[in-house]
Amino acid sequence: MLGRVLDLLRLSEGTCVLCGSLADSEDQGFVCESCLGSIEPERVGVDKDLGPVKGYRVFGRYGGSVGEIIKLVKFKQVLPLARRLGKALSPDLRAFVKEVEPEVVTFVPVHIFRLWGRGFDQNEEMLKGAGVEFKKVLVRVKHSKPLASWKGEERRRVVAGSFRVAPSKLGEVRGKRILVFDDVVTTGATAVSVASELLSRGAKEVFFYFVSSED
């Protein structure tokens, strides 16, 4: 609670939440240009069993500055930061795209209710910021509590069947190598659920690019 109050105070003062210096909150939404410019891949060694996911790459740690930015984007609706973070991770994402050579790049979508609440889909905005061509093929059909409130196996059960390929997009999926973009990987339950759905619709292979990892 106190942390949250301090958080809000810092935000209202217009200081950079990462380094504490004065930030141009109009343009960058609470992170200074210097901090944004210094974001680089943290190359975290992540070893997760993502079942049907053929391969993946993680940009940074959720506990680091990348995670701080994601939190601002998701919980304080700071849209410009989503685009700016996308731009910062663009070289790394492009390198992975070159390696995987996907026929389709797509993203894990938020549920329509959350989209109405937030006004934008952070993964979609980050991809726009990255300047990587993508298609929206998935829809989230279940609106559940934030995943953080569930643990382990329970989490897998909650997200199973949460995503569908939109009926009009089946042709974009069948026989294709697909790269899916998502902001955070924790247990990998979402990635497993999404990959299972894509593969059951005839996708050839599914890869993931995560902006951050929670461990």
| Smallest separation (angstroms) from Zn ion to the CB of 64 | 13
Q: How many of the chain's residues bind Zn ion (CB under 5 A)?
A: 5
Is 36 a binder of Zn ion (CB under 5 A)?
A: no
**Interacting residue with Zn ion among 7, 10, 11, 19 (CB under 5 A):** 19
Q: Is 85 in the site for Zn ion (CB under 5 A)?
A: no
Residue selected from 15, 28, 35, 191 as contacting Zn ion according to rule CB under 5 A: 35
- Cα(189)–Cα(26) distance, rounded to whole angstroms? 36
Q: Which of 205, 200, 145, 152 is nearest to 179 (CA)?
A: 205
Q: Does 82 bind Zn ion (CB under 5 A)?
A: no
Alpha carbon distance 45, 192 (integer Å): 19
Mark the segment that binds Zn ion (CB under 5 A) among 9-17, 79-87, 113-121, 167-175.
Answer: 9-17
Nearer to Zn ion, 25 or 186 (CB): 25
CB of 18 to Zn ion, least distance (A): 4
Minimum gap (Å) between residue 58 Cβ and Zn ion: 23
Closest distance to Zn ion from the beta carbon of 61 (Å) = 17
* Shortest distance, position 160 Cβ to Zn ion, whole Å: 40
* 16 vs 180, beta carbon nearer Zn ion: 16
16 binds Zn ion (CB under 5 A): yes
Task: List residues near Zn ion by CB under 5 A.
Answer: 16, 18-19, 32, 35
